[in-house]
Amino acid sequence: MTIDRGSERAQRDRATAGRAAEALAARFLEGHGLRVVERNYRCRRGEIDLIARDGATLVFVEVRLRTGERFGGAAASVDARKRARVLAAARHYLARRPDTPCRCDVVLLDRLDAERVEWIRDAFSE
């Protein structure tokens, strides 16, 4: 059996870049007055990169990093399937917090550069 070390390395590199993108997004949002309360919330149906508070509103944040335009850039990667998984995880998180106002935001990064952050508030909903 042959182990493909190249794909393992690529997977580790993507995970490292993803963590860096989430950290950059968290700093960006905190700089704009939000308070990050949870990172990488997971349940069986999905994952939320960041959960923040914007006053009384809970904000579920999807962070997308794309370093090239080959597949349409960061915005194109938030497809219907990804939105459904974020919304399912958000419903799970809210089950213990009924009547909490919330929204789903997206932070787009085309590279790990604090100068090039695009923040889309209330990007999608049910």
Q: Which domains does the chain have, with CATH numbers?
A: 5-124 (3.40.1350.10)
What is the reported pLDDT for 86? 92
Could you give the CA distance from residue 101 to residue 98 in angstroms, rounded to a whole number?
9
The residues, any chain, with a CB within 8 Å of residue 56's CB and separated by 6 or more, are 100, 101
Q: Residue 62: which of 29, 97, 95 has the closest Cα?
A: 29
pTM value is 0.83
Q: Between residues 54 and 111, which one has the greater pLDDT?
A: 54
Number of Cα atoms under 13 Å in the Cβ half of residue 99: 0
Question: Which two tokens mark 114?
Answer: 């604090």
**35-43 vs 57-65, strand pairing mode:** unpaired
The residues, any chain, with a CB within 8 Å of residue 43's CB and separated by 6 or more, are 88, 89, 92, 93
What is the reported pLDDT for 6? 62
Write the pLDDT tens digit of every residue in 20-44: 999 999 999 999 999 999 999 999 9
What is the reported pLDDT for 18? 82
Q: Residue 68: which of 22, 13, 110 has the closest Cα?
A: 110
Write the pLDDT tens digit of every residue in 43-91: 999 999 999 999 999 999 999 887 655 545 555 567 788 889 999 999 9
93 pLDDT above the threshold of 80: yes
